[in-house]
Amino acid sequence: MARVHLIIPDADRDRFVHQARLEGMTLSGWLRVAAEERLKQRERLEPFTSSEDVRDFFREYDERESHEREPDWEVHLQTLHESKMSGTGSS
């Protein structure tokens, strides 16, 4: 097996390690899986031919997504409002 040396920003490394641990993997294993998934996505050139293809596509997409809970809509709207208000002012 080959060894590969990667140069990545510390913040990215921290995020990748965190996600790998959440998924019960090592960073090395997580990066291999991510690379395989990316290659698999690029290889998929044929259109969906069945409803099963569509279900598989969305199942794979859901598996890649973070398992963190999204904020409630009202919290999201408040964040948008605060962002807009902090951007206003005299110039």
Q: Which amino acid is at 9?
A: P
Q: Where are the domains of the chain?
A: 8-44
State pLDDT tens for residues 5-56.
899 999 999 999 999 999 999 999 999 999 998 888 877 667 888 999 899 8
pTM of the model: 0.47
